[in-house]
Amino acid sequence: MQYFSRTLGWFSALLLSAAGCTTPFWATDNELFLRLPGTERRSDQVEGVLRPWERIERIAEKGDEGAKAPPEEKKILAFQLIKEYNRSQDPLVRRAAIRSLGKITETAHIEPALETLLSALSEENLGNRIAAAEALGAYGSRAKSENLGDVHQTILAAFAEAYRGQPFLSDAGSDKENNERKDFRLALLRSAPQLGDSSQLVDFLAEAMQDEPLDDGALRLAAMGAMSKATRKNYGADYSLWSDYIAYRQGKRSDPPKEISGLRAALNLNDSALLK
């Protein structure tokens, strides 16, 4: 037994010396362990430098603080977040900055923040593009309530351009990229109704409602749902009725089609014979 204890002690000491410090090596090579007190490598402990997860927490706090702050303080915090976004290459840090900017701009029009969120629609990282779409939807909602028509049009134009810029690929082995593109386009469609009812919004959603090769129907259904939320019209998932309504909004038809019953909408039926 004593021999076993001495052998175990010798083996433990060897492992510690191999790690080059007094911290167990297994605690330093795992991201979860690095968040525990006392497990950081000495080389990780740089005074005045925050690790990514610490920066993310600080950025989130600024967003929460900015959402409740007075106007001038909102601007200060927004500029700090823009700086964090621009200087970081970590996608999670950048995403935290996007989300925090979204919280602040829900209650304040800050032009540089709008420009940053618009640019984030072109990010390579899918999660960041989706976060930007969500933040811009909230931004546009406030723009609508305050009659900031130019902002509203700018965001819608950016949504339409971003949507067109993510068509499905027919190349073999493109399934993963097509799924990401669909997720991003769905995020744009979900955020669009927050921008309010307008001819520009109807045109954008009408384009998204068109049948697209390789789509499984998700985009068309999402576009119909977005149109219903924005216009407060009820045509369920009936594409022909929505097409007639779009024609009415675009001046190609004199009267809108009759809306469907709540029961039919709940059942998601498409048979126009039920309307006769």
What does the domain layout of the chain look like in residue ranges? 51-195, 204-210+223-276
Contact 110, 125 (CB under 8 A): no
* Global pTM value: 0.77
pLDDT band per the 50, 70, 90 thresholds, residue 6: low
Give the HSE-up count for residue 91: Cα atoms under 13 Å, Cβ half-sphere.
10
63-90 pLDDT tens trace: 999 999 999 999 999 999 999 999 999 9
Residue-level pLDDT at 262: 64
Contact 102, 117 (CB under 8 A): yes
Residue-level pLDDT at 28: 39
Contact 193, 230 (CB under 8 A): yes
Q: Buried b / exposed e across 88-118, counting CB within 10 Å, b at 16+?
A: beeebbbbbbbbbbbbbbeebebeebbebbb
Instruction: At 211, list the tokens.
Output: 């049948």
Report the amino acid identity of residue 257: P
Q: Give, in order, the Cα–Cα distances in Å from 95 to each of 31, 72, 153.
A: 19, 24, 24
Mean pLDDT taken over the chain? 82
